[in-house]
Amino acid sequence: MIKCHLSRLLGERKLKITDVARDTGINRGTITRLYHETASRVELEVVDGLCRYLDCQVGELFEFIEDEAFTDR
């Protein structure tokens, strides 16, 4: 499973979803889905834009967490 840390990163920087959407040009709905971890896919262009805006690496924005259902096999 992939965990998105956008909500934590925005909280640490005291940024709002609307600020990020306005400043990056990324669709507000896309940012909202990432923030609430309901996105099922994301364009690399969006990841690039968020990493540039937040001055972070992809690994700080997304984290791979081993799913227990797969580790029990």
pLDDT in tens, 13-57: 999 999 999 999 999 999 999 999 999 999 999 999 999 999 999
Q: Is the pLDDT of residue 71 over 90?
A: no
Does CATH number 1.10.260.40 belong to domain 2-71? yes
Other residues' Cβ atoms within 10 Å of the Cβ of residue 17: 19
Instruction: Give the 3-state secondary structure of residue 1.
Output: coil
Which whole number is the average pLDDT over 55-60?
A: 98
Q: Is the pLDDT of residue 2 over 70?
A: yes
Question: Domain locations in the chain?
Answer: 2-71
Which whole number is the average pLDDT over 2-10?
A: 97
Pair of tokens at residue 60 = 């700080």
Pair of tokens at residue 28 = 């507000």
pLDDT for 39 equals 97
3-state secondary structure 26-54: CCHHHHHHHHCCCCCCCCHHHHHHHHHHH
Pair of tokens at residue 45 = 């262009």
Q: Is the pTM of this model over 0.85?
A: yes
